[in-house]
Structure 1
């Protein structure tokens, strides 16, 4: 046997002695995806989460050359589905959707979460965002944030602000304003816009923050009025509505975001390919049209930048929840 053949045989025997995951990592990652990818949506079908998942994953399936199949695992405000993503095998074939509730607020609000957002999950990219908008009863004598604050100070304990639940972004943004200005306004939690909108129409609720896609039709019809948006820049669909930063609150930069997350341990080349695919999908004319129609925006982000955003928001909500002694029943 020649020296060359001996070396070849030795290399072959050495490789075959390694565990499969170590013997062929490059081959396994290069062939990904070789089968359909399961995309867990931690909310019910039929809503905005469903619409976004289907639209983006249609594009991503085309880009990757493999089907991305939506699997709805609703319950507990997203905690059930996110926990299933966290428990999945980190092979790139189970990923899912996350947002700022399960990833940045709930870790500070619940003591018995079935996952550790930092340890068990990898943020891939934020692929869409929803501005929050501060709206008021159409007859309230306040047309901007300064006038609303002045009115609340004139009527201590007699004004309120609604939200779609304790510990939601809508509630916590209100707490930021309340803390900053020392307002004596009551927080009135409801179970969703089906309850908050009739209350604000009737004047039982004076103001509230909520997602722009839900509020835009009511703003356009004149049923409620918009006082400010929570994004750093004005929203094209509401060009005359100032930002909270313009209104004197530069620290309030909040959007409800939609993100791709994966189980911790998912190979880095897979994460990078997912990031590239969803970023490419966001740039397509179909997705741009959808986001505009749904009053959503796309905020360009890197993987590192998105991870930093999650860490900063987690720290911010932790402080507010602790200082305001916010608890869930």
Structure 2
């Protein structure tokens, strides 16, 4: 009997030591998180657009560093809410992430009354990847050689001119509404289901103007089919050295860009977020991704989780003002 009694404290000590060792090992493993299976990267828009192009370029390079595939899944619809809300509800283990966008993170909260996710509570920001400046163009049928001339025409004939965008609440829609507010003009919005259809009608002269990124507008501009009047960036673009910024033309502080970043579900362990950020940063500075971004006149950023979170809050305030001033609501 004494022997059996004396063994119990020893057993407790051994059990406690084993648990302590297991916990320590678990923390060590978490601090050096390595994925055990492929990671899903959901893109809240269809294939072929700027979001899809950037996501696939980043995913290819991240997979090299992580040692597991990063599988891009396009889940468009609901103005980006379908994919974004799916990630908000996903298990916070690092295996499901989303490509955030100015529309889903900054515009939708101001535009939608029943948004199925809470930007400030449902996500763990990983990194801000890149910013793509918007450019403003007109059909070659519009008799305006530059932005000041187009503004004079629009002011002289309020409501006569229209502009297209990739859809209600899209980056192009918000960019042009910001331009209208800055220039005090009345120009009618014509929403399309994507950039391709919008640009096709701009070339054909069915719409007068448009705002979009360089991937959609640069090819027809270079072919002489449309005119690019100004860029929404804070400085001129290397691919459009002769095209002024809106700010240069008398509207100081004007800047309109769409941006992209990575987010995980809220509650994702910090070591996992940190590893994903590190690999995203490596991918962002790889030659292949840099070449892709330069081709599209995108600016690589690479902000960390805290900076990205603060950036989102600032963008929500800025674009919320535009949404309210223009009276924009979800379809």
Q: Same fold (TM over 0.5)?
A: yes
Aligned to 1:3: none
Among 142, 145, 154, which residue is 2:144 paired with? 142
- Aligned-pair CA distance for 1:130: 2.0
Further displaced range: 240-249 or 30-39: 30-39
- In 2, Cα distance between equivalents of 1:196 and 1:120: 33
Aligned to 1:10: 13
Aligned residue runs from structure 1 range 1-329, under 5 A: 10=13, 12-13=15-16, 16=19, 24-329=26-331
The answer (yes or no) to whether the contact 1:38–1:69 under 8 Å persists in 2 is yes
- In 1, Cα distance between equivalents of 2:269 and 2:93: 7
* 1:247-297 Cα distance to aligned partner (Å, 9 max, x none): 222333222222111111111122122112111111111112222334433
- Structure 2 unaligned residues grouped into runs of 5+: 1-8
The answer (yes or no) to whether the contact 2:62–2:279 under 8 Å persists in 1 is yes
Sort the Cα spacing of 1:297 and 1:119 in 2 relative to 1 into closer, same or farther, 3 A. Answer: same
Further displaced range: 103-112 or 173-182: 173-182
Further displaced range: 289-298 or 109-118: 289-298
The answer (yes or no) to whether the contact 2:140–2:225 under 8 Å persists in 1 is yes
Cα RMSD for the two superposed structures = 2.7
Sort the Cα spacing of 1:200 and 1:70 in 2 relative to 1 into closer, same or farther, 3 A. Answer: closer
Further displaced range: 258-267 or 121-130: 121-130
- Aligned-pair CA distance for 1:153: 1.4
TM-score normalised by L of structure 1: 0.88
- Aligned-pair CA distance for 1:46: 4.7
- Structure 1 unaligned residues grouped into runs of 5+: 1-5
Give SS of 1:299's match.
strand
- In 1, Cα distance between equivalents of 2:58 and 2:74: 15
Give SS of 1:117's match.
coil
Further displaced range: 214-223 or 268-277: 268-277
Give SS of 1:52's match.
helix
Sort the Cα spacing of 1:178 and 1:65 in 2 relative to 1 into closer, same or farther, 3 A. Answer: same
